[in-house]
Chain A
Amino acid sequence: MKRYLLQKTGGFVLTAILVSILTFFVIQILPGDPALLMLGTEATPEIYARVRMEMNLDKPVLQRYFGWFADFLKGQWGNSWRYSMPVRDLVARAFPLSILLAFLSVGAALLVATPAGMFMAARPKTYSARLISVLTQAGLGLPQFWVGLLLIQVFAVNMRLLPAGGNSSYASFLLPTLTLALPRAAILSRFMRVGMADALRQDYIRTARAKGVSSRAIFFKHALRNGSLAVVTVAGLQFAQLFAGTIVVEQVFGLPGVGQLLLTGVFQRDLPLVQAVVMVIVFLILLFDLAFDLCLGLLDPRIRYE
């Protein structure tokens, strides 16, 4: 386990550095001139030169990268051009909401997907199993924001049961969570079914059956343990897509999370804000990946020795 831990953590550090290089490259190198982007075209040459100095644009690229990355690690993310306040404060205010939303929807998805996938594996030929299978196909195909808009229309506007947006009460999290959970549940239940079906085909299941273990015990004890590993793997890989989904769904429901912060940054061309939010999102995705890899290593000793 120790070797596995070191290996995974080392991989995480390397990937994190690569990710920071990619972000730096896109934001600082591609546009040609961040100073011009900040000032617009009407600035005088003197102001332009001063801003270039302040942004260290006159320094060599490598030096700029190391300075930038060190600042990021220290939490010195600069001031937002749009809000004229530290980016760090804006990010700290927006992230808890998005993370809460992400966890709620993964939880909801697992809650639905686990039994659904188990059922499909246990009774593959029944009509209910086929129906669930069709539903998962739909869950994968429906555009998330569209589902959100429809849910608002039905439950908030027509039936007036739930709030259409905002984060003033617990009830207002219900629709966004549902929206985000839907495609996750579809994917996870498919993996659950495959995992369970695979597990049920194994030799040790036949052995257990031959020993006279009841089919209930075989299904819930012997098969479930191995069958659910695939789901844990996939649930971990889902965080990237989940955060992407959160950005869109926050917009649908008017939730003041990272998605909204990022979009404001994009439309106002607020580079410090965008780069900090992107870096934090990507680092979080990598951290979740690492955490899931380690969990998987704990659950399944085989993985540690690969």
Chain B
Amino acid sequence: MDTRKWGIVIIGLVFALTILGYFYTPYDPNEVSVMERFAPPGQSHLLGTDHFGRDVFSRILVGSRVSLAVGVGAVALGSLLGVTLGLWAGFRGGLVEELFMRISTALQAFPSILLALLFATIWQPGVPVILWAVAIGNIPNFLRLTRSQVLSIKKRSYVEAARALGATDARIVVRHVIPNVVDSLLVQFTVSLAGAILVEASLSYLGVGIQPPTPSWGRMLREAQGYAGLAPWVLLAPGLFIAVTVIGFNLLGDTWIFRRDGVFKRE
């Protein structure tokens, strides 16, 4: 099968499993069962159990919810802010543009993980910390992308014609700019999602992200750290799910690039 289709298949499966997790999990994801500690993967527990005897597969099903929701929420927030500021900078030009671009350069020096650690010092570790850190970390990319598109579209003759006919800025944005940027934004959005999921996992692993008892993939790996020799599945399963999801989003990004450009440029 074509590599392009894999992205859709993988992400489709991940979302299907996440939705499944709302209606059905083989076991209660937080049910402790000391008798069944470190049960290996098999018939009764598909992916085995962890150090509390909790079913790993059920926890992964429920954990995916957190990873996806935080990822999608944060990137949506970041893209909304970035696109708005980018439109503003591109249209206004001058001092506003200069200022926004400087701020965006400054923000690029703060990786999301560093921002999250900074926020976690002041607020309590938890979902809002990751959400804002990833959102702010994504602003520069969206801002730059939108601004550069606005600059190139602004100069096209059909936009000048529209303006000559009395079209307002708002109309030009809605009718001409947005349809032109939407494909590139989609690519950026998908690739950013992959990054956001990795950041969430890393932060939850460090202990500044999702707090117990809520299961999340990164959190599960943090808890698995001491038991990898005893029960390799507690380390392998959540990591594989993260990796497959991230790779799926990256491949999906490639698919959007193909759709946008017509030809499949492999980068």
Contacts and interface: CB of A to CB of B under 8 A. Distances in A.
A234 to B, nearest CB: 12
B242 A146 contact: yes
Interface string B112-130: 1110011111110100000
Interface string B228-250: 11001001100100111011001
Contacts of A240: 108-111
Give the interface residue-count category, chain A: 35 or more
Looking at A15, A22, A146, A281, which has the most chain B CB atoms within 10 Å of its CB? A146
A274 interface: yes
B162 interface: no
A91 interface: no
A194 B257 CA distance: 15
A146 B118 contact: no
A244 interface: yes
Interface residues of B, number: 47
B78 to A, nearest CB: 16
Nearest to A190: B267
Interface in A7-26: 11, 14-15, 18-19, 22-23, 26
B180 interface: no
A248 B244 CA distance: 20
A256 to B, nearest CB: 16
Contact of A285 (B109, B119, B266): B109
Given A240-B108, A263-B117, A150 B205 contact: no
Contacts of B108: 240
Main secondary structure of the interface of A (DSSP, over half): helix
Given A22-B107, A30-B122, A143-B198, A137 B114 contact: no
Contacts of B218: 143
Contacts of A271: 121
Contact of A15 (B109, B194, B202, B232): B109
A246 B208 CA distance: 16
A143 B229 contact: no
21 contacts: A14-B102, A18-B102, A19-B109, A19-B110, A26-B119, A37-B122, A137-B250, A141-B244, A143-B205, A145-B221, A146-B201, A146-B243, A149-B225, A240-B108, A243-B114, A247-B114, A265-B121, A266-B125, A269-B121, A274-B118, A274-B121
3 interchain residue pairs of minimum CB distance: A244-B111, A141-B247, A146-B239
Given A143-B246, A266-B125, A278-B117, 5 more contacts: A14-B102, A23-B118, A141-B246, A149-B239, A278-B114
